[in-house]
A and B are shown apart, each in its own frame.
Chain A
Amino acid sequence: MSTTDQISPPLTIEVEHLVRTYGGIAAVDDISFSVRRGEIVGLLGPNGAGKSTTLRILTGFLPATSGVVRICGIPVAANTADAKRHIGYMPENNPLPEDMRVNEYLYYRGRLKEIPREKLRTRLDEVLERCDLKRIRHRIIGKLSKGMRQRVGIAEAILGEPDVIIMDEPTIGLDPHQILIVRDLIGSLRGRMSVIISSHILPEIEVTCDRVMIINGGRIVAQGTPAQLRHEVLGHTHYEVQFAGDAAALPEMLAQVEPTLVVESVRGPDAAGFHEATLITTCEQELGELLFNAFTARACRIRSLKRVQPTLEDVFLAATKRSWDVVDIPGAKKQAPAPRLPPP
């Protein structure tokens, strides 16, 4: 039941061919993935992509139309009550009872999660300490600020020391400082519990998560570490260089450095005689030094040279766009892109 459990399998979440339809329209369309123990996984997707639905099915709150979900090896559909014992869940918008005090609420939730009374006292102190809630433990939840409420939600999710923590948009509506706190809190769970977070705040996911799944139209369109995704989805790298010298000789020079390196655009020269060029290549190796040497060998002066790191945002846009393109092709494997549904 807890993370110390020796016999629990290394895969904490297994999802196979999960489908969920609302009135004949697929909100989740044949999703399969698995999460290892101690891994933090981000679920990215535009609004209505099926993130919340997927997470709700994982918790056993919503039944799936078809497919199998196993939490710590326990099939959720067949043995919901047992599977729920391994899950800590924080839903979207983090609903909390308005007229309870923080410690009352956590105590009540702890009892619901079948934590024995004597153990719950110490566990409660631990969790309050960890989420920095000690000072506000006697305050009424309805009067807390959003950041505090969010921390109460997280405290509730980790209270039962579950193997799997599922959070639906944990940082939505928080200020940067609070986001940092929540991020650290989630990061501190790494290695002990599997965490699955949905979000559409991309830097968030990039910093916290070991692995990212991008989901669109109810399907997984890309998955891997942020670095893998960059390579897989975008497949090319940009360099930006500002130099003073002969711009016309540039393509020939680049071809000597690396055959796939080509000029995307050149601007200038500006008042100081510097051109600004954007270069593109499918080569994965770092070409910065080679480029620098090539420029200086031709007596070009360099003002700046940098490799442009595509953000996860670019990856996300490319991946979701690509998935729309794929499903829009007539006669594609499965027609009819799953329409975006408002969350129920």
Chain B
Amino acid sequence: MLLVNTSTYIAAVLFLFVMGFFFTFLLESYSEAARETSPAFDFFRLFWLAVIIVVPLMTMKSIAEERRLGTLETLLTTPVSTGEVVLGKYAAAYFVYLLFWGSTSGLFYVLHRFATDPRLLDPGTLVGGYIFIAVSGLLFVAIGVFASALARNQAVALVLSLAMLLVLIFGASFAVNIQFFQLEALRPVRQALDYANVFQHLDDFSRGIIDIRHLFFYLTGTALTLILTVLGVEARLLHN
């Protein structure tokens, strides 16, 4: 349904417009003064903006809308299980998410075609960045679907997933700086927070470091979120 929906294309256009705007802005600042990092590195640091806009909008409908229309009932009376329904919704949303990001590769193609300086395009950063987007997207989209499973109303799903994504993306880097966590006794907590810092993951990926721990973080996070989603959908059926 996502691919035949007009709103997906509107979202895609807006997404590309915003990302293109940032990209141009970045390139302009690069043309004014030389920098140490490549434009791709800074570009991917803006991923959070795209995530908190695109993911909630794209996933808010997935289960909440089915429930509101009552089509969840017809869907679950066919020989498919709740798990299959959730996985289907998730896979569709993730596919569209990848398409969105895939379309930004056009920006780099334009840069590659017209830039004279090969230093502007660092393939390592580019590939690392896209791998980060693909891997972290697993978890982000799962969170969006989870929020949609909890809420009956799309708007509630939107706000819920936005809040959860913000906490996930900024929570760790914010919490680490809280005075309270500087206590020596809380060192393990601080380490855990460091480990869960999404921006740290991005930096590593962009430098070409693909850390198994990061992969593990996102894969287990995704699995857990999807399991909770299935349980959420079933609990709502049991107690409605």
Contacts and interface: CB of A to CB of B under 8 A. Distances in A.
B70 A93 contact: yes
Interface centre among A56, A99, A112 (most CB of B within 10 A): A112
Interface in A81-125: 81-82, 84-85, 87, 89, 91, 93, 95-100, 109, 112-114
A99 B5 contact: yes
Contacts of A59: 77
What is the size category of the interface that chain B forms with chain A?
10 to 19
A151 B69 CA distance: 18
B75 A112 contact: yes
B179 interface: no
B3 to A, nearest CB: 12
Contact of B71 (A62, A84, A97, A344): A97
A62 B76 CA distance: 10
A99 B1 contact: yes
Given A62-B237, A63-B238, A344-B240, A113 B78 contact: yes
Interface string B64-92: 00000111011111111100000000000
Contacts of A91: 70, 73-74, 77
Contacts of A33: none
B183 to A, nearest CB: 46
Contacts of A63: 237-238
Contact of B77 (A61, A82, A93, A97): A61
Contacts of A61: 73, 76-77, 237
Contacts of B81: 81
A45 interface: no
Closest 10 pairs (CB-CB, A-B): A95-B70, A112-B78, A59-B77, A89-B77, A344-B240, A84-B79, A95-B71, A91-B73, A95-B69, A81-B79
24 contacts: A61-B73, A61-B76, A61-B237, A62-B237, A63-B237, A63-B238, A81-B79, A81-B81, A82-B79, A84-B77, A84-B78, A87-B77, A91-B70, A91-B74, A91-B77, A95-B74, A96-B69, A96-B71, A97-B1, A98-B69, A99-B4, A100-B1, A100-B4, A113-B79
Interface of B: 1, 4-5, 69-71, 73-81, 237-238, 240
